[in-house]
């Protein structure tokens, strides 16, 4: 996989090189702009719009999970191995994040950070060594339809970078490599979110490369986040469990189906996002609804049925999918208070989910998104101690 190139020893852009010139000289190609393209209404926001509103990195919880409320359209995710002292490496990484988000780091080459967020998690090896019983100490098991080599499974640290300005993503990851040499990259992936569709008041969700609205049934209120996303107590309190799955999708095969067959595989209308059981896009699916001839309106193998939390007996998970151009597919990210929320759901999906017939997973991992931090409370200090 191609890596982003350093801009220079200190990350500065050469004098006189404009943003337009940077794009024209191959910067756009290096960014790997995915299916939604470089132009985005949020990416060209004015100073009063969300894309230009800064998201504070400091706090009781890390940004990039519930903040900002509407996820930025561009994402880069990188997974690393860590050598050395986790407390020191994470503290340096946290200080770097604060500088980047506040626009203090020269690596941004004069660009405004806008709604940039950088979210950090640690893998099971590090968690188990520090707190064997803590959330995140258990590794993610294997599942059917996986084609994952050792380099693309697991890892010690994950860094999720999100922004409305796609130029920021590679610049941030370059700076992470420069400032934290104890991190050795395993793999990275970029993705984009398509145009948002209104689901209900206070919640919208994007379309993915299959044409369907993705991420409809997710926690949106503070109460729902507290019940299903945030870890409530212990050294990981205020954190969450992040699962990432890179899925290559046979888009051509899925597109060869009729619209009706596509909708049966998903369990929702492609145009409106409404469940096949009836109602509007924001209404819960009715898994018991039947047609006049006695058939379930949502087929037994429909994705909306197999991934529904109720039959699995689990709470909602915060699910986000990002469309990928290379490889063509979806980068799936979920966040939940317990890993079992994800594993029990995927076990049900693996039994019979029509959508999985078009996908194979080529990278996977689970990570404890660390509790929040600030200048006085280093990133990771609640688990690994301070310097």
CA distances from 249 to 25, 75, 148, 200 (A): 31, 19, 15, 29
Cβ(34)–Cβ(191) under 8 Å? yes
How high is the pLDDT of residue 47? 39
Whether the full predicted model's pTM is greater than 0.75, yes or no, is: yes
Please compute the mean of the pLDDT values over residues 52-70 and round it to a whole number.
Answer: 96
Please compute the mean of the pLDDT values over residues 49-63 and round it to a whole number.
Answer: 91
More confident position, 35 or 154: 154
Please name the helix (run of DSSP H) or strand (run of DSSP E) that holds residue 205, with its range, or none: strand 203-206
d(CA 357, CA 109): 44
Give yes or no for residue 128 having a pLDDT over 80.
Answer: yes
Give yes or no for residue 65 having a pLDDT over 70.
Answer: yes
How high is the pLDDT of residue 52? 86
Backbone angles phi, psi at 318, to 5 degrees: -80, 105
Please compute the mean of the pLDDT values over residues 258-282 and round it to a whole number.
Answer: 98
In order, the DSSP letters of 117-140 are EEEEEE-HHHHHHH-TTSTT-SPP
How high is the pLDDT of residue 49? 62
Please compute the mean of the pLDDT values over residues 351-363 and round it to a whole number.
Answer: 97
Please compute the mean of the pLDDT values over residues 218-247 and round it to a whole number.
Answer: 97
What do you get for the CA distance between the two ends of the chain, in Å? 35
Please compute the mean of the pLDDT values over residues 271-275 and round it to a whole number.
Answer: 97
264 alpha carbon, distance to own chain's centre: 26
329 alpha carbon, distance to own chain's centre: 14
Cβ(136)–Cβ(44) under 8 Å? no
Q: What pLDDT band is residue 51 in, cutting at 50, 70 and 90? A: confident
The alpha carbon torsion through 311, 314, 319, 325 (nearest 10 deg) reads -60
Please compute the mean of the pLDDT values over residues 182-192 and round it to a whole number.
Answer: 98
Residue in this structure with the two tokens 């597919």, named with its chain if needed: 329
Give yes or no for residue 4 having a pLDDT over 60.
Answer: no
Cis peptide bond N-terminal to 322, omega within 30 = no
Please compute the mean of the pLDDT values over residues 128-134 and round it to a whole number.
Answer: 96
Q: Please enumerate in sequence order all residues whose Cβ is within 8 A of that of 344, keeping only pairs 6 or more positions apart, or say none.
A: 312, 313, 314
Q: Map out the domains of the chain as residue ranges.
A: 31-372
In order, the DSSP letters of 323-383 are EETTTTEEEEEEEESSHHHHHHHHHHHHHS-GGGGGEEEEEEEEEEEPBP--SSS-TTHHH
Q: What pLDDT band is residue 210 in, cutting at 50, 70 and 90? A: very high
Give yes or no for residue 27 having a pLDDT over 80.
Answer: no
d(CA 73, CA 280): 25
Written as six digits, the tokens of 1 are 């996989």
Q: pLDDT by residue (tens digit) across 320-330?
A: 999 999 999 99
d(CA 175, CA 95): 12
How high is the pLDDT of residue 50? 56
Q: What pLDDT band is residue 355 in, cutting at 50, 70 and 90? A: very high
Which H, E and C letters describe 260-294, residue by residue? HHHHHHHCECCCCCCECCCCCCCCCCCCCCECCCC
How high is the pLDDT of residue 387? 59
Mean of the per-residue pLDDT values of the chain: 89
How high is the pLDDT of residue 144? 96
Please compute the mean of the pLDDT values over residues 78-92 and round it to a whole number.
Answer: 97
How high is the pLDDT of residue 195? 87
Cβ(321)–Cβ(213) under 8 Å? no
Report the half-sphere exposure of 93 (CA within 13 A, side-chain side).
32
Q: pLDDT by residue (tens digit) across 217-231?
A: 999 999 999 999 999
Instruction: Residue 385: name the closest of 85, 8, 2, 46 by CA.
Output: 85
Instruction: Residue 151: name the closest of 186, 183, 124 by CA.
Output: 186
């Amino acid at each position: 996989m191609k890596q982003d190139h350093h801009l220079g020893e200190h990350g500065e852009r050469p004098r006189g090189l404009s943003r337009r010139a940077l794009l024209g000289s191959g910067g756009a190609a290096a960014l790997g702009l995915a299916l939604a393209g470089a132009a985005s209404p949020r990416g060209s926001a004015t100073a009063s719009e969300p894309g230009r509103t800064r998201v504070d990195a400091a706090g009781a919880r890390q940004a990039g999970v519930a903040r900002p409320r509407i996820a930025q359209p561009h994402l880069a995710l990188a997974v690393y191995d860590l050598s050395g002292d986790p407390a020191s490496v994470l503290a340096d990484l946290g200080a770097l994040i604060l500088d980047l988000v506040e626009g203090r780091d020269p690596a941004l080459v004069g660009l405004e950070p806008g709604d940039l967020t950088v979210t950090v998690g640690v893998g099971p090896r590090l968690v188990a060594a520090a707190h064997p019983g803590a959330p995140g100490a258990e590794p993610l098991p294997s599942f059917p339809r996986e084609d994952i080599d050792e380099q693309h499974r697991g890892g010690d640290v994950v860094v999720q970078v999100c922004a409305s300005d796609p130029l920021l993503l590679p610049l941030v990851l370059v700076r992470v490599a420069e400032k934290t040499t104890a991190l050795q990259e395993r793999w990275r992936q970029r993705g984009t979110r398509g145009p948002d569709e209104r689901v209900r008041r206070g919640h919208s969700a994007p379309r993915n490369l299959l044409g369907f609205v993705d991420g409809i049934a997710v926690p949106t209120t503070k109460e729902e986040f507290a019940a299903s996303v945030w870890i409530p107590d212990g050294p990981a309190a205020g954190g969450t469990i992040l699962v990432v799955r890179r899925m290559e999708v046979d888009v051509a095969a899925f597109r060869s189906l009729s619209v009706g067959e596509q909708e049966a595989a998903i369990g929702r209308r492609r145009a409106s996002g409404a469940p096949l059981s009836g109602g509007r896009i924001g209404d819960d699916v009715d898994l018991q609804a039947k047609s006049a001839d006695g058939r379930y309106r949502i087929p037994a193998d429909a994705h909306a049925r197999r991934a529904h939390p109720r039959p699995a007996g689990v709470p909602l998970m915060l699910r986000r999918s990002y469309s990928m151009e290379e490889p063509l597919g979806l980068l799936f990210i979920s966040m939940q208070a317990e890993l079992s929320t994800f594993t029990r759901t995927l076990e049900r999906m693996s039994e019979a989910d029509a959508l999985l017939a078009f996908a194979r997973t080529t990278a996977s991992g689970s990570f404890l998104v660390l509790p929040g931090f600030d200048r006085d409370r280093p990133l990771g200090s609640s688990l690994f101690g301070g310097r």
